[in-house]
Structure formats: structure tokens, C-alpha cells
């Protein structure tokens, strides 16, 4: 009977082993630490930010980094550190919401066209060709321009373009997995197409998609802050790194910290996603052949 | 057409005039130039009966359509034309529940031990899934059945909760057999079941198959290119060339006295274990013609040492010769029957 | 067979090839010794992972720098082991040539076949361009490629698997090698094509007086092609001798088991002899005999004491502590059948 009870614990031990291997990699540990901190900052900025990010202090305008204001203050005397911290909330949200719908839509579409092929695949191919002929940013900006600026519209615009990349990746992965005999075995065993796609093929195809998602979240932050900088994304006075950089652009010589500090936050968070993504790519690579 | 030696019994599977053509994708330049699509003729009118509880061996060079035939029978490929009848009923167009019902009776085992199991599922998950989808058992009976199946294919205790990569090739093929048996089928299609295994492990799996077949009364289609193994396990053997059966008959008769020139060459080319039986000249010259362009008349005539004018014109039909059936105009003279 | 003793060209003494850490090495080839004479075909037979390819690669020095080669490889009296890369290169591909299982991976897909042969001729002969072309045609002719002159301009992918293997042989022959190392040259091919390639290698060896080491896992290939055979298991030799003797009257439990597991002269559909278990992984070999875990006659000392390759009759060697018991064990089985 012990055998019957073994299954869940074996799975748990596999998960534990995976976590163990992950944390024995310095790159994963660093990346994970950065992301964990970023998420904490995004969830609890009120606890961690020393000042109100919106409070003007006209007595302390454009002060350089000091003990009281480690990142300095801006042209309205607002604490840059607090603004950068509050921006985590918006930017981490952006990383997530600008990608998650693209991922869900893209994976579903890609899985179906990859599995069924035929006409659907041909139509999909045309769609992809149409969308990727435009540079990503140009297309997104065009859509935002039509919908109007703002975070939600930015998510819609990015998703409308970005799902194609997930779908393309998923399609290729599913097609490769489909040629394996276990997919044929599933058909001979009388399993439904949905079961074969979602229980058999997708779990085997998902790793590169997850890895891509990690890098894509880093890109989404870059993209979101670029749009914020251009005034098409998050709107001032909301704290968002792109917006913060934009606010500082006229004072680059006199108050460089206004733009540099949010810039560092972008680079650091992007690095966190990339490190975790790279480590996952290694860890998830199938073994045992 | 009926197979003379088995007139008494009704076949479990009756395959009639089966054709399978794969259209190749046309490149843009071909389309523009109006060139016709290239068509791979993988099966070219296969006629074959499979009798209940027999092992039918299928041999032939690679690319001659063995796997395609196996996949058509298992329902993985839909033939272009022709018919496959299972217990008298056509199974070509089965859908939904009826297709599942058919596949419950006819299961398939695959060649590649590395890709035929889902790497992310434990053996237990794999077997449980098949058992539950088909409602073979309920509740605690499911896990009992899993243990029973693993016992049946002689996998050690504790194998159930391991992942495929923790097993050797031979053990994986056993898992494949257990998965097929989980639906309690009547007929197993084994496509090169042991070809990828080490020689010392092949015999283990072949023995298992023989035992299971006898104890469960299974019908087995044993597709393989190892002639010695096919001879050993099969009651009857069909030789396939360019998508058509050129000879079929009782195993011992066919191997001791092949009637078709291709069967003769194939048997002669197979390495024998007798170091005194050495030849200087190859048994058969030339290579398998492309299935894109099957020769007219007898498909074997381009390589056949006995080819005559008639062979280039007229396709020989599969007809009773000696103990079995042969598709050659001159089988009697060539085979000495 | 001629009675004149042919000259020994290759004499391998206590070859040992290891990978990985020096403290805990992975020994892929362990204490392997054998000789090859001019014009002789030696079969090196064993399951996958038994170290056959690494043995061949060690001879050519192409496991270095990652693999460490020890022992002596006497090529016409000169030890190849201590030679540096430059000196080895003069031997490699000139006096000793090698062909592989998958010819596509060792042909350059971007160059025409004619150019690849010509390059090899340029590297190893002093023929001018015109003579090289003529020689290339001659070589392709010699290996049985029809219309050789028209095919010089073709790329590797325009050839079938069997034809590619012929091209590989032609390239190997370009330098008039005295030793051909053939690593499973026919494993990927069909029996009819395998037969053609083996007959070709046999003819070349006979006509050119070329020594050949033919690696295979198929005892049938050995029986039909090789003069002598060396059976390998877990990186070590377990038995060597003239082909007919070893196949007709094997002495080592592994070769006995392997030969018994191949169906010949047994009643159809009876259970085959099968060696229990699976081939060992190299990092889990016992200090003693590599076959211990699967051996039916293993004694208590087998795990710890390495059996030496000892003389067992004329030109034969066997590495086993319990030769008598092995013979008794297997002949009792024989009698029981
Ligand atoms: N899905 C497919 N698409 C195109 N051609 C195919 C397909 N499946 C098989 N073929 C072709 O059909 C022929 C027969 O293949 P197959 O049945 O696999 O032969 P065998 O199993 O005897 O080696 C081959 O020429 C092969 O290339
Ligand atoms: N570069 C390498 N590093 C470590 N181990 C190796 C290397 N190359 C081969 N091996 C090991 O050596 C063993 C023998 O391999 P090989 O000679 O290729 O076997 P065979 O040709 O008999 O199938 C294998 O178990 C393989 O894992
Ligand atoms: S019909 Fe003619 S070509 Fe065909 S196998 Fe018979 S003799 Fe040969
Ligand atoms: S008897 Fe001992 S030495 Fe001989 S093969 Fe068996 S285990 Fe090895
Ligand atoms: Mg096949
Ligand atoms: Mg090898």
C-alpha cells in the first residue's frame, strides 16, 4: 500500500529537488532576490517608502542625494526614493498585465493552430506576417494613439501585438511535441484533442514559453516606461519610472538623480527577470535522454 | 479476395485494396510553374486478413509502408481509399465514441522508447489516465489495476511512481505494452517494438509479448525488419514492397521456401549466423525506388533478376501459390512450387 | 583462406580510455588488447555503450583532449599514443581511415561529393586537379555508385542513405588507407543495402589487402563478414577468436547468452533465452567482472576479481573465472529444449 501513497510525496520531492537545484545557482539566487524585493516594494510601498511620493516640499527642491533623501529630491521637492518605490507598484503591474493576457491568448491560439494545422494554421501564418512586418513599438504607439493614452489602453495595445509572439512560439513547440509518439499514443488511446493538447503536449511545450515570458516582462517594463516617457502610458503625477525619467529630462545636468535613479530601477528589475529566465531555461531543459 | 488457408475462420481484421497517398507541399515556384503536386504513394492496394489470436508478421525494407499500414489500422492515418473492416464492420470513418470503442479493442505500441511516453507523467499517471478515461475501473480498483498491469509486464515494485527517464529502453517498452493492455484490447499493433532495444534486451520483450499473447488470447500485428525475430514470433508473415503485399503465408513455409523474388532476396540479404554461408555478391542489387514514382507493372521489376517483358506491363495480382499467396507472374517457376 | 601468416599491422596493448576527473574517472575502454592483420576483417561486437566507438576513436586519437588514452597502440610497430596532434594527423585519414554510422553528419552538406573526394586526394596524394577528378570517378565507381562521372557535382543530400555510405567509403579510400575503421556503417541501413555495403567492404579488404575493424552490434553481420571477432562488454573484452569458433562455440557467458537470445534452430514461438537485466552504466561497474550482475554462473569472487583474457584453444581468448560452469549451464539449457 505504501506504493499508492508514494505518488504525491514523490512529486513533492521532485519539486523540492528542483527548488534545491535552482537555489544552488548564484544567478538564480540574485535574480530571485531582486524580483522578491521588487514584488515586496510593489505590494507594500507605503511601508517602505520614507515619504509621501506626492508631497511637495518647496524647501527642499532638487537636492542631491543625502542621508535624508538618499536619491535626492525633484523639482517640486518630492523624495525621489519614495517616488521610485511607489513606481514599483505601477511598473510591476505593467510587467504582469502587459504580458499575461498576451501569454494566455497566444498560448491557446498557438496550441490549437499547432495541433490542428491546416487552414487555421495558414490564416494564422498570414496574421503573424501582417503583424510582425511592423516594428513592435510603432504598432503599439499607433494603437495607443487610436485608443488614447492611459495604462489600460496601453495593456490593450501591447496585448494586441504581443500575443502573436507567444502564439508563434507555442505553435512551434506544440508542432515539435506533436511529432512524438506519445501524442500518437494518446490518439490511439482515444483521448480527446483537448486532453492531448492541454494535458500532454502543453506541459511539455511550456518551459520555453515561461522563459520567454520572464524576458518579456523585462521588456514590458522597458516598453511601458518608454510609453510613460512619451506620455502615452501612465499619466503624471502617478509615479512610474518612465514618467519619472521624463520629469527629470530637463534637469539632466543640474539634477541628474531625478532620471538616473528610476533608470537604475528599470535596469535592475529587468536584470532580475533576465537572470531568473536564464536560470529557468537551464533548469527546465529536459534531461534523461 | 479471401485467403485460401484461412477460409474456415472469419478474419478479425480484413484490409481491402488500401491506398494511402501523402501529398507533398508544393513550393511556390512549383505552383507558379503549374507543376502538379508530388504524391508519395505509401500504400498501393494492400489486401490482408488478420486472423483472431494469430501473430501476423509484417516485413519489408524501410520506407515500403509498414508503419503507414500499422497507423492506418490503429486509426492514426485515414487511408485515401480502400477499406479496413474489424469483425466485419468498416472502421475507416469511425468518430467519437465509436472510434474510442474501436481503439479499446485495437491498441498500438510504438518503436521509439524515448518519445512514446509522456516525459512529464509518472507511470502511474499514464496508466491511470487510460483506465479512467475509458472507465475500466472505479475508485480503488484503478490503483489495483495499475499494479496488476505492472506485474503483467514484469516491472519491479515501485516502478509506478517513477518517470520515464528513470527507466531503461526495455523497461520503457514494457510500460508502452502496459499502457496498451490497460484497455484490455483484443488486437495489438506492434510497430518495431524491439528494434530500438539492445540485442540482449530484445529477447526479454519478445518473450513477454509471446507470453501475454498466449495468456490473453491477443491478436498481434508484429511489424519489424528483423527477419529472425519475425520468423520466431509469427504464425503468418506478410512481405510488403512499395506499399503492397507481395507475399503472405505461414511463417515456416515462407521462410524455408519464399516464392516471391523479393522475399527470396530479403531473406538472403538478412545476415545469417552461419559463418560458412558466405556470399561474395550481394543478394539484391539496386535500391528501393522512390515512392513518389512507383514503377508500372510489377513494382519489383526494376530490381528483379527474373523480370520479363510481361512484368513491365502487367501488375501481378496476389494469388494463391503453394501454401500462401504471392504477387508474381512467375511464382510457380521461380519458387519451384 | 591462405595459410601464409599475414603481417600484424595494428597491435593494441592494454588500451585504457577514460573521461572525467582523474580521481573518479569514467573508464570507457578498460584494458583492451587485440591485433589486426593486413587484409583481415576484425569484428568488434557489443551492445550500445560498451565502448566500441571509443576504442576506434582512441586509435585515431580523436577522443583527446577530453579523453585520456593509455596503453600502447602499435601501428606497424610505431606507438600512436604518445604522438602529438600534428604527427597523428599524418597517420589519420591517410594510413588509417574511418567511416561512421551516420554518413550525413560526416559529409559536408555544402560541398559537392566530387569536391570532398578531391580535397581528400589533394591532402594525401600529389595528383594534379585533372588526375584527382579521374581518380574520384574511379573511386565512386569502385564503391558501386552508378554513373559516377555525372554524380561528382551532386551534394550529399541528393544521395540515398546507402549511397552516402558508399560515398563515405570512397572518400576514406582516397588515401589508400591500410586500415579502415568502420563504426556501425550499416546500422542505419536496410538489410538489402547493409548486405551490399558489407559485401563491398569485404571485397575491398580482399582486393586491396586492407585491414578492417568493423564495429557492429549484430552477430549476424559478424558471422557473414568478419574473419575474427572480439566481443566487448562494459568497456572490456570478454572473448576473442576466429568468427566461426566464437559463433559456433562461444565460451564466455555473455557471448553465450547473446547468441542464445537470437532465435536460430529453436521451435517457433517458444520463449527465447534472455539475459536478465540491462547493460550496465560505466560509472557503476564492479571492480571485478563487468558482467557479474547479469551472469547466470557468477561466483562470489567475480564481483571483486577481474578475470583476465586467457587463452582458450587455438587463437582464442576468454575472460571468465568459470568457463566450465558456463559451458555446462548453457549446454544443460540446450538439452532441456
Ligand atoms: N505523414 C507523412 N507525410 C508524407 N510522407 C509520409 C508520411 N508518412 C510516411 N510517409 C512516406 O511514406 C512512405 C512509407 O513510410 P513508412 O510507412 O514509414 O515506411 P516503413 O515503416 O516501412 O519504413 C515513406 O516514403 C515515407 O516517407
Ligand atoms: N566524451 C565523453 N565523455 C564522457 N563519457 C563518454 C564520452 N564519450 C563516450 N562516453 C561514454 O563512453 C561509453 C562508451 O561509449 P561508446 O564507445 O560510444 O559505446 P558504443 O560505441 O559501444 O555504443 C558510453 O557509456 C559513453 O557514455
Ligand atoms: S512479376 Fe516479374 S518482375 Fe515481378 S517479381 Fe515476378 S518475375 Fe519479378
Ligand atoms: S562467471 Fe564471473 S567472470 Fe565469468 S562472466 Fe560470469 S561474472 Fe564474469
Ligand atoms: Mg516504420
Ligand atoms: Mg558507437
Question: What is the model's pLDDT at position C205?
Answer: 95
* Stated pTM of the model: 0.89
Q: With contacts defined as CB-CB under 8 Å, which chain B residues touch A176?
A: none
Separation in Å, CA of C28 to nearest CA in chain B = 18
pLDDT, residue A287, reads: 58
Report which ligand 4 atom has the smallest distance to the Cα of C297.
1
Mark yes or no for CB contact B122/A7 under 8 Å.
yes
How do residues C103-151 score in pLDDT, each as one tens digit?
A: 777 889 899 999 999 999 998 888 999 999 999 999 998 898 888 999 9
Asked whether the beta carbons of residue B170 and residue C278 sit closer than 8 angstroms, the reply is yes
Q: Delimit the domains of chain A by residue range.
A: 22-44+73-284
pLDDT at A43: 93
Chains within contact range of chain C (3+ C-beta pairs < 8 Å): B
Across chain A, how many H-helices and E-strands are there? 12, 0
Distances (CA, A) of A155 to A147, B29, B100, C45, C159: 11, 42, 44, 64, 53
Interface of C with B in 32-91 (CB under 8 A): 47-48
pLDDT at C4: 62
**Residue A244 in contact with residue A64, Cβ under 8 Å?**
no
What's the whole-number mean pLDDT along residues C194-218? 95
* B203·C261 Cβ contact <8 A: yes
Q: What is the rounded distance in angstroms from the CA atom of residue A128 to the CA atom of residue C263?
A: 56
Cα end-to-end span (Å), chain A: 31
Q: Is residue C142 part of a domain?
A: no
Does pLDDT of A250 surpass 70?
yes
Is B175's C-beta closer than 6 angstroms to any atom of ligand 3? no
DSSP state of B5: G
- For ligand 4, atom 4: residue with the closest CA: C320
Q: Do B115 and A182 touch (CB under 8 A)?
A: yes
Nearest-CA distance C275 → chain B (Å): 6
- pLDDT at position A193, please? 95
Q: Is B306 in the pocket of ligand 3 (CB under 6 A)?
A: yes
Q: Is residue C204 part of a domain?
A: yes
pLDDT of residue C189: 87
Nearest CA in chain B to A207: B120
What would the DSSP string read from start to end of A139-154? Answer: HHHHHHHHH-SSHHHH
Mean pLDDT, chain B, whole residue set = 92
* Cβ burial, residue A75 (10 Å; 0-12/13-18/19+): middle
Q: How many CB pairs under 8 A join B and C?
A: 134
Phi then psi dihedrals of residue C9, to 5 deg: -95, -35
Burial (CB count within 10 angstroms: exposed 0-12, middle 13-18, buried 19+), residue C135 = middle
Identify whether the C-beta of residue C243 lies closer than 8 Å to the C-beta of residue B275. yes
Among A95, A98, A213, which residue's Cα sits nearest to residue A152?
Answer: A98
Q: Is the pLDDT of residue B9 over 80?
A: no
Write out pLDDT tens, residues C259-281: 999 988 888 999 999 999 888 88
Each residue of A8-29: pLDDT tens digit? 566 777 788 888 888 888 999 9
Confidence of residue B244 (pLDDT cuts 50, 70, 90): very high
Separation in Å, CA of B218 to nearest CA in chain C: 14
Q: Which ligand is nearest to the CA of C63?
A: 2
**Are the Cβ atoms of A180 and B157 closer than 8 angstroms?**
no
Nearest to C192 among B168, B234, B283 (CB): B283
Residue B120 C-alpha to ligand 2 middle, in angstroms?
Answer: 27
Q: What is the dihedral of CA C216, C62, C280, C232, to 10 degrees?
A: 40
Q: Report chain B residues touching chain A, CB-CB < 8 A.
A: 71, 74-76, 99-100, 103-104, 107-108, 110-112, 114-122, 124-125, 129-130, 133-134, 143, 147, 157-158, 160-166, 176, 179, 183
- Looking at ligand 4, which atom is closest to the CA of residue C321? 3
Best to test chain B binding among C145, C229, C263 (most B CBs inside 10 Å): C263
CATH number at residue B173: 3.40.50.300
- If one residue of C47, C54, C59 were mutated to test the ligand 2 pocket, choosing by the most ligand atoms within 8 A of its CB, it would be C54
Percent of chain B with pLDDT over 70: 97
- B169-225 pLDDT, tens digit each: 999 999 999 999 999 999 999 999 999 998 889 999 999 999 999 999 999 999 998
Q: Which residue has the higher pLDDT, A56 or A197?
A: A197
From the CA of A248, how far away is ligand 5's center (Å)? 67
pLDDT at A50 over 90: no
Per-residue CA distances from A11 to A7, A8, A16, B121, C276 (Å)? 6, 5, 9, 10, 30
Q: Which fold has domain A22-44+73-284?
A: MetI-like fold (1.10.3720)
What digits encode the pLDDT tens for the residues A195-218?
999 999 999 999 999 999 999 999
- C334: confidence class by pLDDT, cuts 50, 70, 90: confident
**Beta sheet of C236-242, edge-to-edge order:** C96-99, C179-183, C211-216, C41-45, C228-233, C236-242, C317-318, C310-311
- Among residues A207, A234, A208, the alpha carbon closest in space to that of A220 is found at A234
Q: Report pLDDT digits (tens) over C227-246.
A: 999 999 999 999 999 999 99
Q: Which among B159, B161, B62 has a CA at the least distance from the CA of B111?
A: B62
Residues with CB under 5 A from ligand 6 (ion): C 53
Q: What is the b/e burial string over A159-173, where b = at least 16 CB atoms within 10 angstroms of the residue's CB?
A: bbbbbbbbbbbbbeb
Is C28 part of a structural domain of the chain? Answer: yes
Q: State the DSSP string of B267-327.
A: HHHSPPS-TT---SS-SS-S-PPPTTSPPSSSTTTTT-TT--HHHHH-PPPPEEETTEEE-
Q: Which residue of A lies nearest to B108 if distances are taken between CA atoms?
A: A188
Q: How far apart are CA A219 and CA A239, in angstroms?
A: 19
Domain count, chain B: 1
pLDDT exceeds 50 at position B2: no
Range of the domain at B104: 2-271+280-335
Rounded to the nearest whole angstrom, what is the distance from the C-alpha of residue B63 to the centroid of ligand 5? 7
Checking if the pLDDT of A1 tops 50, the result is no
pLDDT at B287: 87
Chain B residues touching residue A286 (CB < 8 angstroms): 119
Q: How confident is the model at residue B337 (pLDDT cuts 50, 70, 90)?
A: low
Percent of chain A surpassing pLDDT 70: 95
Mean pLDDT highest for which of B99-108, B149-158, C21-30?
B99-108
Question: What pLDDT does A286 receive?
Answer: 64
A49 in Cβ contact with A69 (< 8 Å)? no
**Secondary structure of residue A66 in the 3-state scheme:** coil
Q: Which residues share a beta bridge with B48?
A: B15
Check which CATH number belongs to the domain holding C13 and give it: 3.40.50.300
Residue B97 predicted with pLDDT over 60: yes
User: pLDDT (tens digit, 9 = 90+) per residue, B110-150?
Assistant: 999 999 999 999 999 999 999 999 999 999 999 999 999 99
Tell me which residue of B275, B258, B265, B279 sits closest to B327, measured CA to CA.
B258
User: Which atom of ligand 3 sits closest to the CA of residue B331?
Assistant: 6
| Cα separation, C331 vs C337, whole angstroms | 10
Contact across the interface for B273 and C163, Cβ inside 8 Å: no
Domain range for C27 is: 2-95+177-250
Contact partners, residue A141, CB within 8 Å, separation at least 6:
A157, A227, A230, A232
Residue B329 Cα to ligand 3 midpoint, Å, equals 6
Contact B70, B191 (CB under 8 A): yes
Please, how many CA atoms are within 13 Å of residue C55, restricted to the half-sphere of its CB?
Answer: 38
How many whole angstroms from A89 Cα to the centroid of ligand 2? 53
> Shortest Cα distance from A215 to chain B (angstroms)?
25
Query: To the nearest whole angstrom, how far is the Cα of A247 from the nearest Cα of chain B?
Result: 50
Q: Edge-to-edge strand order for the sheet containing B81-86? A: B39-50, B13-23, B81-86, B89-90
Distance from the Cα of B203 to chain A's closest Cα (Å) equals 23
**B32: three-class secondary structure by DSSP:** helix
- B52 within 8 A of B12, measured Cβ to Cβ: yes
Alpha-carbon span C185 to A46, nearest angstrom? 71
Nearest CA, atom 17, ligand 1: B65
CA within 13 Å, CB half, B222: 30
Higher pLDDT, C179 or A18: C179
Which H or E run contains C30? strand C26-37
Contact B294, B44 (CB under 8 A): yes
Contacts of C14 (CB under 8 A, 6+ apart): C31, C32, C33, C70, C71, C72
The total number of structural domains in chain C stands at 1
pLDDT at B276 over 70: yes
| E strand or H helix at A114 | helix A80-116
**Mean predicted confidence (pLDDT) in C143-172:** 90
Classify the complex by whether its ipTM is higher than 0.95, answering yes or no. Answer: no
Strand order in the sheet with C78-79: C26-37, C8-19, C68-75, C78-79
Does residue C257 lie in a domain region? no
Q: Which of B272-281, C31-40, C65-74 has the lowest mean pLDDT?
A: B272-281
Rounded to the nearest whole angstrom, what is the distance from the C-alpha of residue C57 to the centroid of ligand 2? Answer: 10
C-alpha cell at A133: 512586418
Q: Which helix (H) or strand (E) holds B140?
A: helix B140-152
Return the bridge partners of C229, or none: C43, C241
**B127 touches B149 (CB < 8 A):** yes
Q: Which atom of ligand 3 is nearest to the CA of B311?
A: 2
Ligand 4: residues with CB < 6 A are C 253, 289, 291-292, 295, 297-299, 302, 307, 320-322
- Dump the DSSP string for A20-49: HHHHT-HHHHHHHHHHHHHHHHHH-HHHH-
Dig out the grid coordinates for C157 from the structure. Answer: 543530400
Residues above pLDDT 90, as percent of chain C: 70
Chains near A (3 or more Cβ pairs under 8 Å): B
Amino acid at each position: 500500500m505504501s506504493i499508492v501513497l508514494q505518488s504525491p510525496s514523490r512529486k513533492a520531492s521532485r519539486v523540492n529537488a528542483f527548488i534545491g537545484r535552482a537555489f544552488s545557482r548564484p544567478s538564480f539566487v540574485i535574480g530571485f532576490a531582486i524580483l522578491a524585493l521588487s514584488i515586496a516594494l510593489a505590494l507594500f510601498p507605503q511601508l517602505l517608502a520614507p515619504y509621501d511620493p506626492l508631497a511637495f516640499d518647496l524647501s527642499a527642491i532638487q537636492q542631491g542625494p543625502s542621508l535624508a533623501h538618499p536619491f535626492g529630491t525633484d523639482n517640486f521637492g518630492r523624495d525621489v526614493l519614495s517616488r521610485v518605490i511607489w513606481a514599483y507598484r505601477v511598473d510591476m503591474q505593467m510587467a504582469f498585465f502587459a504580458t499575461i493576457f498576451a501569454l494566455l491568448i497566444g498560448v491557446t491560439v498557438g496550441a490549437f493552430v499547432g495541433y490542428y494545422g491546416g487552414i487555421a494554421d495558414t490564416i494564422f501564418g498570414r496574421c503573424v506576417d501582417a503583424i510582425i512586418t511592423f516594428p513592435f513599438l510603432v504598432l503599439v504607439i499607433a494603437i495607443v494613439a487610436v485608443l488614447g493614452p492611459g495604462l489600460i489602453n496601453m495593456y490593450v495595445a501591447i496585448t494586441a501585438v504581443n500575443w502573436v509572439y507567444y502564439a508563434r512560439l507555442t505553435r512551434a513547440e506544440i508542432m515539435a511535441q506533436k511529432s512524438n509518439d506519445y501524442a500518437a499514443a494518446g490518439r490511439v488511446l482515444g483521448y480527446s484533442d483537448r486532453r492531448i493538447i492541454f494535458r500532454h503536449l502543453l506541459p511539455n511545450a511550456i518551459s520555453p514559453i515561461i522563459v520567454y515570458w520572464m524576458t518579456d516582462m523585462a521588456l514590458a517594463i522597458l516598453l511601458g516606461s518608454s510609453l510613460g516617457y512619451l506620455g502615452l502610458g501612465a499619466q503624471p503625477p502617478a509615479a512610474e519610472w518612465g514618467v519619472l525619467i521624463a520629469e527629470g529630462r530637463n534637469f539632466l545636468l543640474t539634477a541628474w538623480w531625478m532620471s538616473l535613479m528610476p533608470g537604475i530601477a528599470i535596469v535592475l528589475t529587468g536584470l532580475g527577470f533576465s537572470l531568473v529566465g536564464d536560470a529557468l531555461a537551464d533548469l527546465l531543459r529536459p534531461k534523461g535522454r | 479476395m479471401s485467403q485460401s488457408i484461412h477460409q474456415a475462420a472469419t478474419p478479425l481484421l480484413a484490409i481491402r485494396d488500401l491506398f494511402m497517398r501523402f501529398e507533398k507541399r508544393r513550393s511556390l515556384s512549383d505552383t507558379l510553374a503549374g507543376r502538379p503536386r508530388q504524391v508519395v504513394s505509401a500504400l498501393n492496394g494492400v489486401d490482408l486478413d488478420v486472423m483472431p489470436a494469430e501473430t501476423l508478421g509484417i516485413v519489408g525494407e524501410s520506407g515500403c509502408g509498414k508503419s503507414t499500414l500499422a497507423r492506418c489500422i490503429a486509426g492514426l492515418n485515414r487511408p485515401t481509399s480502400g477499406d479496413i473492416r474489424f469483425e466485419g464492420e468498416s472502421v475507416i470513418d469511425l468518430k467519437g465514441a465509436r472510434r474510442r470503442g474501436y481503439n479499446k479493442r485495437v491498441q498500438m505500441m510504438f518503436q521509439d522508447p524515448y518519445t512514446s511516453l509522456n516525459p512529464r507523467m509518472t507511470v502511474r499517471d499514464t496508466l491511470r489516465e487510460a483506465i479512467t478515461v475509458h472507465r475500466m475501473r472505479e475508485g480503488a480498483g484503478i490503483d489495483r489495476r495499475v499494479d496488476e498491469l505492472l506485474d503483467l509486464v514484469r516491472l519491479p515494485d515501485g516502478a509506478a511512481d517513477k518517470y520515464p527517464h528513470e527507466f531503461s529502453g526495455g523497461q520503457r517498452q514494457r510500460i508502452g505494452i502496459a499502457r496498451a493492455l490497460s484497455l484490455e484490447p483484443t488486437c495489438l499493433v506492434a510497430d518495431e517494438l524491439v528494434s530500438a532495444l539492445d540485442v540482449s534486451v530484445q529477447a526479454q520483450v519478445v518473450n513477454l509479448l509471446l507470453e501475454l499473447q498466449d495468456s490473453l488470447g491477443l491478436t498481434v500485428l508484429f511489424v519489424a525488419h528483423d527477419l529472425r525475430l519475425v520468423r520466431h514470433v509469427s504464425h503468418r508473415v506478410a512481405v510488403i514492397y512499395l506499399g503492397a503485399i507481395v507475399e503472405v503465408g505461414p511463417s515456416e513455409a515462407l521462410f524455408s521456401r519464399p516464392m516471391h523474388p523479393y522475399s527470396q532476396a530479403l531473406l538472403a540479404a538478412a545476415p545469417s549466423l552461419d559463418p560458412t554461408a558466405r556470399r561474395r555478391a550481394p543478394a539484391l542489387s539496386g535500391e528501393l525506388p522512390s515512392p513518389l514514382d512507383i514503377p508500372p507493372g510489377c513494382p519489383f521489376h526494376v530490381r528483379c533478376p527474373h523480370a520479363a517483358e510481361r512484368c513491365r506491363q502487367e501488375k501481378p495480382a496476389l494469388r494463391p501459390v503453394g501454401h500462401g499467396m504471392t504477387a508474381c507472374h512467375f511464382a510457380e517457376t521461380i519458387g519451384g512450387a | 583462406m591462405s595459410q601464409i601468416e599475414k603481417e600484424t599491422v595494428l597491435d593494441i596493448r592494454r588500451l585504457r580510455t577514460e573521461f572525467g576527473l582523474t580521481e573518479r574517472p569514467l573508464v570507457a575502454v578498460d584494458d583492451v588488447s587485440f591485433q589486426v592483420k593486413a587484409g583481415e576483417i576484425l569484428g568488434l561486437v557489443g551492445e550500445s555503450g560498451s565502448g566500441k566507438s571509443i576504442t576506434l576513436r582512441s586509435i585515431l586519437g580523436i577522443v583527446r583532449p577530453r579523453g585520456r588514452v593509455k596503453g600502447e597502440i602499435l601501428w606497424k610497430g610505431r606507438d600512436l599514443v604518445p604522438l602529438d596532434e600534428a604527427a597523428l594527423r599524418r597517420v589519420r585519414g591517410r594510413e588509417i581511415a574511418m567511416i561512421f554510422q551516420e554518413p550525413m553528419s560526416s559529409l559536408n552538406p555544402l560541398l559537392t561529393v566530387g569536391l570532398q573526394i578531391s580535397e581528400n586526394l589533394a591532402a594525401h596524394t600529389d595528383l594534379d586537379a585533372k588526375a584527382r577528378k579521374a581518380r574520384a570517378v574511379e573511386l565512386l565507381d569502385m564503391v558501386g555508385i552508378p554513373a559516377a562521372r555525372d554524380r561528382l557535382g551532386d551534394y550529399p543530400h541528393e544521395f540515398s542513405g546507402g549511397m552516402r555510405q558508399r560515398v563515405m567509403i570512397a572518400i576514406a579510400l582516397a588515401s589508400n588507407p591500410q586500415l579502415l575503421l568502420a563504426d556501425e556503417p550499416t546500422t542505419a541501413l536496410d538489410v538489402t543495402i547493409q548486405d551490399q555495403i558489407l559485401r563491398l567492404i569485404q571485397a575491398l579488404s580482399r582486393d586491396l589487402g586492407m585491414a578492417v575493424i568493423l564495429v557492429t552490434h549484430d552477430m549476424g553481420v559478424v558471422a557473414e563478414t568478419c574473419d575474427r571477432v572480439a566481443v566487448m562488454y562494459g568497456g572490456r573484452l570478454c572473448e576473442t577468436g576466429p568468427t566461426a569458433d566464437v559463433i559456433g562455440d562461444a565460451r564466455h557467458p555473455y557471448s553465450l547468452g547473446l547468441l542464445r537470445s537470437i532465435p536460430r534452430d529453436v521451435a517457433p514461438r517458444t520463449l527465447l533465452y534472455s539475459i536478465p537485466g540491462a547493460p550496465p552504466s560505466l560509472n557503476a561497474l564492479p571492480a571485478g567482472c563487468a558482467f557479474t550482475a547479469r551472469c547466470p554462473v557468477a561466483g562470489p569472487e567475480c564481483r571483486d576479481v577481474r578475470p583476465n583474457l586467457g587463452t582458450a584453444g587455438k587463437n582464442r581468448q576468454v575472460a571468465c573465472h568459470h568457463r566450465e560452469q558456463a559451458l555446462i549451464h548453457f549446454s544443460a539449457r540446450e538439452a532441456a529444449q
